[in-house]
Amino acid sequence: MSVWNPTAVSFTVYLLLMLVIGWLGYRQTNNLSDYILGGRRLGSFVTALSAGASDMSGWLLLGLPGAIYVGGLSGVWIAIGLALGAWANWRLVAARLRVHTEVCGNALTLPEYLTQRFDDRSHVLRIVTALVILIFFTIYCASGVVAGARLFETMFGLDYHTALWIGAVATIAYVFIGGFLAVSWTDTVQASLMFAALVVTPIAVISIDGGPTTAIDAVTALHPAHTDWFGDLAPIGVLSLLAWGLGYFGQPHILVRFMAARSAAAIPQARRICMSWMVLCLTGAVAVGFFGLAYYSARPELGAGVNANSETIFIALTTQLFTPWLAGVLLAAILAAVMSTLSCQLLVCSSALTEDLYKTFARGPVSQRRLVWIGRAMVLAVAVVAVLLALDPESRVLGMVSYAWAGFGAAFGPLVLATLLWPRVTRNGALAGIVVGAATVLIWKQFGWFDLYEIVPGFALGGLALYVVSRLDRAPSAGVLARYAAAETRLKEIQAGKAPGADATGGTGDTDTPTAQPSP
């Protein structure tokens, strides 16, 4: 494809817009707190859409439609599990985590929160948590790089490895420049674009197919099993797909969005916005895969590329159904999904290396300016490793995402819930939960016992280890228990509208729109 093609031009304009937003984020980045958490100034709208966009990576427009295209509606259980898990995460974790991290010394990262929560002066918990984050996020980042490469490869006819580096550089640029604020603002734009693409594309396909009834009849005639929600799935298969929802409780890149909200009072409104967005996007992704199957079944000459790699179905439909200008905008939604998740993952890895490892063991005080630049250097380092992991052209987005998702869900999910809901959990219990949960995922993945998704045994065994060790351990200190009680009291005051700044609506936040500030 020529670089002067209308599709390429509109696509390029989108990339430039993201870089401009990155520059605006740079203007408001004055210290490490700004760079990795936005100074805790996000309002309801930005919190909601940035949480949704950082969650729904390239797999939403590539992996999920591809799975539906190949396996039919039995893949819808992933979407159902995710929707239920996201709702539970907003209800049980979001507001509590925002308050508890504030009470625990205004913790900027998950490892720092856990360190403060358990008063772990040995920093063992901080180090273990940071290492687990780096291991699984590097795999997760690699999946985003693969998704970006697929897009550039298909759009511009590039060699896979060339496309790999171009897609990675496009994302790294604005994360490197603007940090958390740039990531959150671009997430808001990208979430809106993803929503539009997942509404417009299935409507267009259904219209061309002759309406939903005609399309369903066509799929039923050619692939009867594809209209069965259970297909050839055994009960354990349905359980494995639903279990994706368990992962939400332990995803650092989603949890950090809760931590960055202006106040716990902003959470209820953010939850309503995010869940509405998410359900509609998941429905659209399922519709793209299912009705795309009807479209290509009637036009086999157009579907050769999709049949070779089902994860390109959204790309193929977009380029074949829409004018080049509109196709460029809609294809930018794929890059939006990739960039929104990859950017926040790079930032969480950077914060783990900078705030939780470098700053912890640095000799003497370190200036905020130096920490910000170290954070930027860590973004580059993690990105390079992710690219190296993604060099295999046979890599599949959904497979890589499922592995990392399970790792985080099992290692941190039971622990995050326990720190917010059970004051009796101890530091040693936390360590046992992280190690057992992560190790179970790593081992189970290698053997694939019972065809059960590894997050299920990982979450169960990690939670069990946490509970047993905490019960056998001596009770937490009076200071730890008092801090937990203080956080719970403050949460109740905010929910009752009695705490300072606990407005009833949650407001829109101080950084819903960027304003220029002196550069660091």
User: Residue ranges of the alpha helices (H) in 311-454?
Assistant: 313-321, 324-351, 359-361, 368-389, 397-421, 427-447
C-alpha torsion 114→117→121→124, nearest 10:
-20
Pick the residue with more confidence: 479 or 345?
479
Q: Is the pLDDT of residue 505 over 60?
A: no
User: Residue ranges of the alpha helices (H) in 30-75?
Assistant: 32-37, 44-55, 63-71
Q: Is the pLDDT of residue 460 over 80?
A: yes
Is 483 part of any domain? no
**Furthest-apart CA atoms within the chain: distance in Å:** 71
* pLDDT value, residue 458: 97
Ramachandran bin of 260, using left for φ above 0, alpha for ψ from -120 to 50, beta for the remaining angles? alpha
Is 242 part of any domain? yes
Is 373 part of any domain? yes
Q: Give me the domain span that covers residue 298.
A: 6-393
Q: Is the pLDDT of residue 141 over 90?
A: no
Reported confidence tier of residue 518, pLDDT bands at 50, 70, 90? very low
Helices 313-321, 124-156: inter-axial angle, 10-degree rounding: 40
Q: What span, in angstroms and rounded, lies between the C-alpha atoms of 186 and 84?
A: 26
pTM above 0.75, yes or no: yes
* pLDDT value, residue 432: 97
Q: Which of 251-260, 286-295, 331-340, 363-372 has the largest mean confidence? A: 286-295
Is 402 part of any domain? no
Reported confidence tier of residue 41, pLDDT bands at 50, 70, 90? low
Is 327 part of any domain? yes
Is 431 part of any domain? no
Determine phi and psi for 261, rounding to 5 degrees.
-60, 150
CATH number at residue 45: 1.20.1730.10
Annotate 104-142 with b (16+ C-beta within 10 A) or e (fewer). beebbbbbbbbbbbbebeeeebbbbbbbbbbbbbbbbbb
Is 103 part of any domain? yes
Q: Is the pLDDT of residue 419 over 70?
A: yes
Token representation of residue 46: 């930005």
Is 369 part of any domain? yes
Rounded alpha-carbon distances, angstroms, from residue 131 to 209, 248, 390, 459, 499:
50, 19, 20, 18, 37
Mean pLDDT is lowest, of 175-184, 288-297, 345-354, 508-517, for: 508-517
What's the number of domains the chain is made of? 1
